[in-house]
Structure 1
């Protein structure tokens, strides 16, 4: 039976953030002639403005190029992946569509936390690895030392490392040759029933959903009637093509090993599921491909429409973005203060920040975003049948009455912090202030070490990364994984504005930090909320006990200014009338709470 083309290489580029993946991808495009000097631009595969502005890769981007080695032309299909821990789901999807991975290490910084995490993912996916030492042109580069570090820490032979400079192009030709030589060709049978993996998709207003796929077995051509095995929906293929690096239609059939895009007039967003299997409707595969594990959201917040944006506008924008980013979840929610909106789950704080910005830019909607929270497990007291039910909540407002709660469990993470030796004391202090438990310490080199801590997820999602970078002058990195839930002395802290609790400002905090956190939050809210015509009390409460208070003074108005003489009783009468009006306004007046007030919850006061 015919097998996949032996001259195809499917691989991805993985690394820690800012180690030069996107720049190296640019040089590979130029080295293979896919991008000439006229069309060249930095970060070619970073298609979104937000990626270029921030200098980070958010979406994995696929491209097909050709390279000649030993007199034979090879088709190289590669995927440039994100490096930040929040986008690890993008990396895992890319790995599933490849046979090999180029692991990039910065010659000046060496092995980082995400380098190790990505290596483990690639090993689990049974991929062939090529270690690449990048940025060797920098004055502070130590390529030989970093190659030995790759061998000591990652277990990859130092002599296998390829030395490159993505900036100058040095070593890129050698890397392309090594990819053809070392990476295995794709496996798969051309005559078998079609099995193609959907590894990404995006929505186009004119063409519908554009599906990115990798053919594992079988053959696919324009005009075929296809079936999405998970969704049980059928479509007619109207266009097939490859990324070179822009989308180019291709009339040839796609066979096992090929990577490309497909347009089939898919207008319904729900028809496409990332990780689904495509097969032919009239010659179906017996089983679907394994696909991907469902991503577990770590951080939750609410999005509500504001300004001229309507709820339906927000729902449409979120639906389109969900097709392009399968790693966030959403469901409808409502709030007395903010109306109807969506409760969204994200893989981390940067992921949340990017989704919010993409919604505003690409969806053209105006949002109010509440402060992020994590998932908690709540064990209830025994019911009449003696069963102790355990429920999960993602919003403090969902917490049942405390008389029914036996314990609240918070998610815990195992964190690996890679830090310069000189910063170890400050990092330990930071972790202990965040209720961290020391688990171990390993030497990476004479000037860098790995600290292992167990930490509550809620303590690191806000500003832990910023504090870490500040302490280590930008040289510290962290990678973490959720290990489970653990009971603790957790309480719900309500924030009352003008006597009414505002659900979106509620927090679940550790009892030992509740009072200081509450007082600090009230001071921040006082700065954010404008003065009104009446006095506004701000209170923090646990149950029925008030643990902190701030007062926003009313806007003054001199009602006695017209009384330039006469009996003092005239002034008293006017002041008494003003006082009654202020009391009435305080009872029925509404307080406008700006977006900044909801985000003030993020400031821990440390």
Structure 2
């Protein structure tokens, strides 16, 4: 294979005598040298001491060192057209090494190289530090991870329940899980990650509203940020074309599972005597949490599932809020189909009763669509028998102790903070 690459692949077409043009296609962070850019030298020569400029940020840098990877770093005196190597030039901010950027000689106008088109995130999740005192270290960790992963988008976000954090976009659920795992393993940053959601397109009405939101159609990736339902004319959700290959004996279970998730079957093909290929158009929102796990469970691990983007479709979606003791927890808000709102609300409330640890106060768990309560569960408080020490005397003494306890519980309920385990936000949406 290596010999064939040498003989069959044409050599690089760039010129070593032309002005420098280098494409940044990867980068990593070094605590002593800053951002290290991995580049392809299309034209020209770069060597330590050269002054280069970024076409993307318009910033200027002095090259400190260059080299190649073999596979470890090996410093060289220069990099010339056609070579791939690394460039260290005091990029101190992780955002400066922009993937797809063109580096060129300072003061020299060149045509930028064809950049790497950014991937569009398909899944969004809120990322918050376990404690707000860890906010600075968490921000640094997220920035460093996002440096060499151009598919990740990061915007600042805040939540009344979780404090200051970030809204992070991913290519899929696996991408999200890997990002969270790297945060913990590489940087020791324990994050609270909210349930993943998908980007919805929302069409609104009214000149004032259109002016306020900056357009007639807006993209909403956080259900808690959904505009007032009275100004919404249409909600479109992302769809996918899912392909499932399964043994024939599991076909009806698969079809039933897909139908339950609002899937529409488009194709069914017999591959051989024992396997079939099924294709369904499914809402992305229905498959990002636990669909793949369920498919594996239903088929004893024999089925495979793959999907591709299939555009957007209009749907009757509503925002389902979860309130604890009358206070809406925006991190638990989700978008559901109107026909499934009550069933999903009941399931989420029942799941929260199992997940949330019992407190000293009674907790009312409610699922709301607008101001309408569609489901409710109660999490009972720990019980303390304040009358156990009584062994006689007047009944008014017993009544007084019970009244004091009731008053104390009311006061505690007003000021109590309900602590939610970090797994709550994803586990509550699993079926």
Is contact 2:204-2:210 (8 Å) kept? no
Q: Tell me the SS of whatever aligns to 2:251.
A: helix
Instruction: Indicate the residue corresponding to 1:209 in structure 2.
Output: 35
After superposition, where does 1:549-568 map in structure 2 within 5 Å?
A: 549-568=376-395
Q: Residue 451 of structure 1: SS of its match in structure 2?
A: strand
| C-alpha distance 496-288 of structure 1, shift in aligned 2 (>3 A) | same
- Runs of at least 5 residues in structure 1 that lack an aligned partner in the other structure: 1-174
Question: What is the Cα deviation at residue 301 of structure 1?
Answer: 1.0
Runs of 4+ more than 6 Å apart: 384-388
Question: Residue 202 of structure 1: CA displacement?
Answer: 0.6
Q: Which one of the candidate residues 583, 589, 593 is aligned to 2:420? A: 593
Does the 8 Å contact 1:331/1:344 carry over to 2? yes
For 1:225 and 1:390, the matched residues in 2 are separated by 45
Distance 1:385 1:562, change over 3 A: closer
Aligned-pair Cα RMSD in Å: 2.2
Q: Does 1:360 align with 2:184?
A: yes
Match of 1:259 among 54, 68, 84: 84
Q: Distance in 1 between matches of 2:14 and 2:159?
A: 52
On the 8 A contact 2:317/2:336 being kept in 1, the answer is yes
Q: Distance in 1 between matches of 2:191 and 2:278?
A: 39
* CA 428–257 in structure 1, closer or farther in 2 if over 3 Å, else same: farther
Aligned mates of 2:11, 2:242 — CA distance in 1? 36
Correspondence for 1:250:
76
Distance 1:187 1:428 in 2: 52
1:197 aligns with 2:23: yes
**Structure 1, residues 205-228: CA drift from partner, whole Å, max 9, x if none?**
011111111122232233322121
CA distance in 1, matches of 2:208, 2:124: 33
Equivalent residue for 1:494, pick from 313, 318, 321: 321
Cα deviation for residue 302 of structure 1 reads: 0.9
Aligned length in residues? 428
Please point out which of 285, 292, 299 is paired with 1:465.
Answer: 292
1:229 to 32, 45, 55: 55
Identify the residue that residue 539 of structure 1 maps to in structure 2.
Answer: 366
**Partner of residue 307 from structure 1, selected from 131, 154, 163:** 131
CA separation in 2, counterparts of 1:421 and 1:185?
50
- Name the CA distance, whole Å, in 1 between partners of 2:268 and 2:15: 48
Residues 392 and 381 of structure 1, relative CA distance in 2, 3 Å threshold: same
Residues 386 and 574 (structure 1), Cα distance of their counterparts in 2 relative to 1, 3 Å cut:
closer
Check the 8 A contact 1:437/1:453 in 2, yes or no: yes
Distance 2:82 2:251 in 1: 47
Partner of 2:152: 328
Residue in structure 1 matched with residue 281 of structure 2 by the alignment: 454
What is the rounded CA distance, in whole Å, between the counterparts of 1:545 and 1:327 in structure 2? 39
* Structure 1 residues 418 and 249: alpha-carbon distance in aligned structure 2, compared to 1, 3 A threshold: farther
Deviation at 1:342, TM superposition (A): 0.8
Distance change in 2, residues 1:274/1:545 (3 Å): same
Pick the aligned partner of 1:337 from 152, 161, 165: 161
Question: 2 CA distance for matches of 1:426 and 1:260?
Answer: 52
- In the alignment, the residues of structure 2 paired with residue 385 and residue 471 of structure 1 have an alpha-carbon distance, to the nearest angstrom, of 46
Which residue of 164, 167, 185 maps to 2:11? 185
The whole-number CA distance in structure 2 between the counterparts of 1:332 and 1:384 is 26
Q: Are the counterparts in 2 of residues 379 and 407 from structure 1 also a CA contact under 8 Å? A: yes
Aligned pairs for 1:426-445 within 5 A: 426-442=253-269, 444=271
Is the alpha carbon distance of 1:228 and 1:448 closer, same or farther for their aligned partners in structure 2, counting shifts above 3 Å?
farther
C-alpha deviation, 1:308, in angstroms: 7.0
Seen in structure 2, the aligned counterparts of structure 1 residues 444 and 280 have a Cα distance that, compared at 3 Å, is farther
Instruction: Look up the match of 1:279.
Output: 104
Task: Report the CA distance shift for 1:193/1:476 in structure 2 as closer, same or farther (over 3 A).
Answer: farther
Q: 1:386 to 1:549 in 2, by over 3 A?
A: closer
Equivalence map 1:50-61=2 (5 Å)? none
SS class of match (1:391): strand
2-side partners of 1:284 and 1:445: how far apart?
60
- Compute the TM-score of the two structures, normalised by the length of structure 1: 0.67
Q: Aligned partners of 1:192 and 1:420: how far apart in 2?
A: 59
Asked if the contact 1:524/1:597 (under 8 Å) is kept, the reply is no
Task: Work out whether residues 242 and 248 of structure 1, in 8 Å CA contact, stay in contact via their aligned partners in 2.
Answer: yes
Aligned to 1:123: none
- For residues 29-428 of structure 1, the aligned pairs below 5 Å read 175-251=1-77, 253-285=78-110, 287-307=111-131, 309-383=133-207, 389-428=216-255
